[in-house]
Structure 1
């Protein structure tokens, strides 16, 4: 019985890692699109995420069945609850990437001179995706000190994403003042960039959940 439970835990973890790998690949493809302003890269990013919800549902079902069959306690229960919540965070990140990629393709086909916003948008994309990659990597980390180190690194990237978004917001407001007739388009671009900032926020949540799974306590204290 114990062996079967351990096998289920290993399988759930593998499914989470596979899901994270696909999201990482899609996010890196979106970053490539941002760097090159290549619409095809953004479309490829969305295609890579087309089965994410199906994969996430399969993970959730496996977790629920495992909880029902084995009724784990203490540390094992924390781990299962954390995995369940992490799946949701990964789906939300995937939704952010998809929405960002779809919107970017539309912006590049529009009339707004996006090139003036390219530098800080690219920096924001890089830091958000770095946060995502670091966070997803913690799914396969067991060492408490390593988790806490990654948490600090992800928090740095989250803070950078907030700062970069603020700079981008000021630049866009400046552009709106010069091209008032395109203000709606600029506001849409700002909304698109918010997707990147949210990805960094959710990355922090993932690492907090992994620390909770390994250490326990209150997640808000990390």
Structure 2
């Protein structure tokens, strides 16, 4: 029979999984919105993430209750600390995607021609979704998840994401030189796309925190 602490920590994991699933779904909608030039879908992304902070606060309160009620042992304490830090990273991912959706809606309506950049933008977005799906799947199937293997897979996606963003930086800089009158707008586009790149970085942080929860050691997070 499971202890009250085990029931509580399972409930916390399930709530985190639901939060991640919602963000992942929103990111997929944002991908389709950009691919299809559908600005209405971008608004759907923003609406889907409106309660993100509230839901994360609820999870944090449940974690704090677990601290207060159960006086956890060292390994249990480590997990709770990791989950508390994870919700912060998850909120930042969600807020980044929300801002990306709002800004890309504006960019599509601008005079910038983003279509030549699509061979890089779309894979960049896909890699961000893939890294989120890896984290989400690990939470949904926690008992079966190989956390070390999951971490390696997320790192592969993050490395791919970095390479794609570097290509985008060069391509957009070329556009800025060639289309000086749109320079400010292209700089804004690059800032919007950086939201995707940073979201992928944060999935590495979550994967790292999952490792910490299991094995201990030191926490090393992207800033």
Q: Which residue of 1 aligns with 2:50?
A: 50
Q: CA RMSD in A?
A: 1.6
The number of residue pairs the alignment matches comes to 219
Residue 71 (1) aligns with residue 57 (2):
no
Q: Which residue of 2 aligns with 1:103?
A: 103
Residue 6 (1) aligns with residue 6 (2):
yes
Q: Which residue of 2 aligns with 1:119?
A: 119
SS of 1:110's equivalent? Answer: coil
- Contiguous gaps of at least 5 residues in structure 1: none
Comparing both structures, which one devotes a greater share of its residues to helix?
A: 1
Q: Which residue of 1 aligns with 2:160?
A: 160
**Pairing of 1:108-147 with structure 2 (within 5 A):** 108-140=108-140, 141-142=142-143, 146-147=146-147
Q: Which residue of 1 aligns with 2:217?
A: 217
- The ranges of structure 1 where at least 4 consecutive aligned residues each deviate by more than 6 angstroms after the TM superposition are none
SS of 1:220's equivalent? Answer: coil
Displacement of 1:88 in angstroms is 0.7
Q: TM-score, normalised by structure 1?
A: 0.93
Q: TM-score, normalised by structure 2?
A: 0.93
Deviation by residue 1:20-61 (Cα, 9 ceiling, x = unmatched):
111111111111112222112211111111111111000001
Deviation by residue 1:137-163 (Cα, 9 ceiling, x = unmatched):
22242457x211111111111111111
Verify the 8 A CA contact 2:20 2:132 in the aligned structure 1. Answer: no
- Contiguous gaps of at least 5 residues in structure 2: none
Displacement of 1:73 in angstroms is 1.3
In 1: Cα distance, 2:120 partner to 2:99 partner: 19
**Pairing of 1:20-99 with structure 2 (within 5 A):** 20-99=20-99
